[in-house]
Amino acid sequence: MRLITTLMLSGAMAVRPGAVQAQDPLRGFDRYVAEAVRTWEAPGLAIGVVKSGEVVFAKGYGVLELGKAAPVTTRTMFANASTTKAFNALAIAMLVDDGLLDWDDRVADHLPHFAMSDPYVTSEVRVRDLLSHRVGFGDPQYLWYGKDDTLDEMLRRLQHVEPRSSFRSRYAYNNIAVAAAGTIAGRVSGAGWDALVHDRILAPLGMTSTVTRARDLPASAEIAVTHGRVNGQVVPIRVWGLVDSIPAAGSMYSNVDDMTKWIRFLLDEGRVADDTLVSRASFDELFQPQTIIRPGQSYPTESRTRPHFVAYGLGWFLQDYRGHKIAFHTGSIDGTVAIVGLLPALELGVVVFANRDHVEVRHALMLQVFDRFIGAPVRDWNAELTVLYDSLAAESRSTMDRLRESRIEGTEPRLALDAYAGDYRDSLYGRVTVSVEDGHLVLRASDYLTADLQHFQFDTFEARWRHRWLGSDPVTFAFGGGGTVTGLRIGEEGGERYRRVEREDK
C-alpha cells in the first residue's frame, strides 16, 4: 500500500524468548486475548483484525454487564469516542473534493460567532488548525463534559479561554476545536454533520449498525454497559451520550462488524468495491504529519515503543513502530475505551473496544497484532503495559488526597450554610448553583455534575460527586471585604477543573 511508506529504522526491543510469528501470525492469539481481558479486568471486549482486505479475526469476550450472562459479540455496540475524529476528518476531505471547503479556510468565514482571546488568532485560525490540535490550549473540558450547553454557546465562550502557548507552536489535544470543524462541515454540506457522515461514509460502506450519536441507538441494539472502578471495585456505571453535544469530537457508536468495514476502506485508500469515495490527494492529506508531538506529550506506551517521531495528522496519531509508519487513534469516555490502528504497508488494521474506563488492554492488543504480522520477535505487551500502568496508578494521587496530607482539623465554616447558597456565574464556565438540602450544601453544574458538599477545612468543602466514579474535588468559597460570599472555586488554583464564578445576589 502507498498510503504510508515504510521507514528503514532499527532499534533493540525486549522480547519474549522464542516468540517469533512466522507461518501463522494468529496462532494462539485467541488465548492471548482472553488472558488479556482477565488481566485488565475488562468486563467485555470485542476485537477485529483485517489483513489484505479480509477480516482474519473477529471475536467478542466477556459480558455486556457484570453480573449478567449476555455475552459480548462482534455485533455489540460500543462508544467510538475519539475514534470518531477520523470519520469527521474524512467527511471534510470529501467536501474538499467537492470544492465546498478547503483545509485552510478561515474558521471565522464559516462561523462568524467564533472568537478566541487574541484577535489575530480569531482571524487566522484555519480548519486545518482545528483538526490538528494546535490552537494554543488544550481541551476546555469544563465547557462540554456533563454540561447542558449547546455547541454554539461553547464556541462563544472560547474567547475567554487563556492560551497556554502561542498559536500553532505546540500540540494540545482539543475536543471543542474538532467539534467546531464538524459544525463547519455540517453547515457547508447543507445537511448537518450527522447526515453528512451517514450519507457520505456509513451508507456507502454498509456500516448499517453505526450511529452518529448515542441518542440514535435503537432500543433493540446489543449495547455494552459501561463500567468504572468505584471504591476499588469494577461496577456498572451506565453512562451513554456524554459526547453528543460535541458530536464530531467523539459521539459515534459502532461495533466490530462495522468497524472492520471501515478499516478495509482505509487500507484500500478510500475505495469500497469499485467506487472511490475520496480523491487520493485528499485521502493522503489525512495521514500527513500536521503537528509534531514532543516526547512526553503522547501516551505512556511511548516509553516502551520508543518511536523516532510522533505527530498528529488529521484525525490520526502517527508514529513509527519497528520500521513501519503506523496510524492509530484511541477513544475514551466514562466507562469505555476504543482503539483503531493501521499498518498500511502490511495492509493490516485492528479495532478494539472494551467496556471499562480507561483500560489499556487496547494498546496491548494493537501492538501484539502488529508484532505478529511484522514477523519480528513478539513482545508480551499485555505483561509490559500492565506493569507500566500499574506503576502509574500507584504514583497518581487525586487533588483531595494531596489536600488531606496538610488538612487542618477542627475548623468550621465562617458562616451558616445558607449564606453559601445561591447562583454563581462566569463568562467562561457558565453557571452553578449551591443550595442547602437535608442539612448540607449541594452543588449543581448540571444533572450529571451534581455533588454533595461536606465541610473539609475553613471555607473549603469536599464535593462528592453523586456519580461516584467521578470521585471528589475541593470547592473553596471566596469572600469580599464585607465578609459576604463573592464566589467559589472548584478544584485547585490553575487546575483543569478550576472555576471561579461570581454570586449573582452579592
Q: Residue 436: which CATH number?
A: 2.40.128.600
Q: Of 20-24, 184-188, 396-400, 463-467, which gets the smallest average pLDDT?
A: 20-24
For residues 48 and 381, give the distance between their C-alpha atoms in angstroms, rounded to a whole number: 18
At 491 the pLDDT is 86
The predicted model gives 254-262 an average pLDDT of 98
Q: Of 58-72, 289-303, 475-489, which gets the smallest average pLDDT?
A: 475-489
What band does 494 get if pLDDT is binned at 50, 70 and 90?
low
176: CB partners within 8 A, 6+ apart = 139, 140, 143, 144, 154, 155, 158, 246, 249
Percent of the chain whose pLDDT exceeds 70: 93
Is residue 2 a part of any domain in this protein? no
Query: pLDDT by residue (tens digit) across 338-372?
Result: 999 999 999 999 999 999 998 999 999 999 999 99
What band does 67 get if pLDDT is binned at 50, 70 and 90?
very high
Helix or strand run (H / E) with residue 153 = helix 151-157
Is residue 242 a part of any domain in this protein? yes
Full DSSP string of 356-385: STT-THHHHHHHHHHHHHHTSBPP-HHHHH
User: Is pLDDT above 90 for 23?
Assistant: no
Residue 185's CATH number: 3.40.710.10
Residues 363 and 451 in one domain: no
Q: Which domain holds residue 410?
A: 401-503
Residues 263 and 324 in one domain: yes
At 237 the pLDDT is 95
User: Is pLDDT above 60 for 4?
Assistant: no
At 481 the pLDDT is 80
463: CB partners within 8 A, 6+ apart = 443, 451, 452, 453, 472, 473, 474, 475, 490
User: Is pLDDT above 80 for 5?
Assistant: no
373: CB partners within 8 A, 6+ apart = 21, 25, 51, 343, 346, 348
Q: Of 90-99, 385-394, 422-431, which gets the smallest average pLDDT?
A: 422-431
Bridge partners of residue 253, in order along the sequence: 79, 211
Domain boundary residue among 334, 366, 395?
Answer: 395
If one counts every other C-beta atom within 10 angstroms of the C-beta of residue 383, the result is 14
What band does 398 get if pLDDT is binned at 50, 70 and 90?
confident
Residues 383 and 406 in one domain: no
The per-residue pLDDT of the chain, averaged, comes to: 91
Is residue 373 a part of any domain in this protein? yes
The predicted model gives 459-483 an average pLDDT of 92
At 9 the pLDDT is 29
What band does 484 get if pLDDT is binned at 50, 70 and 90?
confident
Residues 182 and 124 in one domain: yes
| DSSP class of 81 | G
- Which ranges constitute the DSSP H helices of 40-99? 84-98
Residues 415 and 389 in one domain: no
Domain boundary residue among 357, 373, 395?
Answer: 395
C-beta separation of 315 from 131 below 8 A? yes
Is residue 50 a part of any domain in this protein? yes
Percent of the chain whose pLDDT exceeds 90: 83
The predicted model gives 117-145 an average pLDDT of 96
Query: pLDDT by residue (tens digit) across 135-152?
Result: 999 999 999 999 999 999
Residues 42 and 101 in one domain: yes
If one counts every other C-beta atom within 10 angstroms of the C-beta of residue 480, the result is 11
At 506 the pLDDT is 43
Is residue 17 a part of any domain in this protein? no
What band does 45 get if pLDDT is binned at 50, 70 and 90?
very high
What band does 482 get if pLDDT is binned at 50, 70 and 90?
confident
Place of cell 495528522: 313
Backbone CA torsion sign across 289, 293, 298, 303: positive
Domain boundary residue among 395, 411, 435?
Answer: 395
For residues 453 and 186, give the distance between their C-alpha atoms in angstroms, rounded to a whole number: 41
At 425 the pLDDT is 87
Burial 198-218 (b: 16+ CB within 10 A, else e): bebbbeebebebbbbbbebee
For residues 3 and 287, give the distance between their C-alpha atoms in angstroms, rounded to a whole number: 8
What band does 427 get if pLDDT is binned at 50, 70 and 90?
confident
Is residue 12 a part of any domain in this protein? no
At 193 the pLDDT is 98
At 70 the pLDDT is 98
Query: pLDDT by residue (tens digit) across 289-338?
Result: 999 999 888 899 999 999 999 999 999 999 999 999 999 999 999 999 99
Residues 324 and 448 in one domain: no
Residues 425 and 366 in one domain: no
At 478 the pLDDT is 87
Residues 302 and 359 in one domain: yes
Residues 333 and 247 in one domain: yes
- Give the CA distances from residue 338 to residues 250, 256, 277, 492, in Å, rounded to whole numbers and listed in that order: 11, 11, 25, 30
Place of cell 499485555: 382
At 326 the pLDDT is 98
- Give the CA distances from residue 309 to residues 135, 170, 322, in Å, rounded to whole numbers and listed in that order: 21, 15, 12
Q: Of 55-64, 335-344, 395-404, which gets the smallest average pLDDT?
A: 395-404
Nearest to 68 by CA among 355, 470, 353: 355
CA angle 446, 449, 452 (to 5 degrees): 115
What band does 118 get if pLDDT is binned at 50, 70 and 90?
very high
User: Is pLDDT above 60 for 500?
Assistant: no
Count how many domains the chain has.
2
Place of cell 461496577: 235
pTM here is 0.92
Residues 463 and 489 in one domain: yes
Is residue 494 a part of any domain in this protein? yes
Is residue 73 a part of any domain in this protein? yes
Residues 219 and 146 in one domain: yes
Backbone CA torsion sign across 479, 481, 486, 487: negative
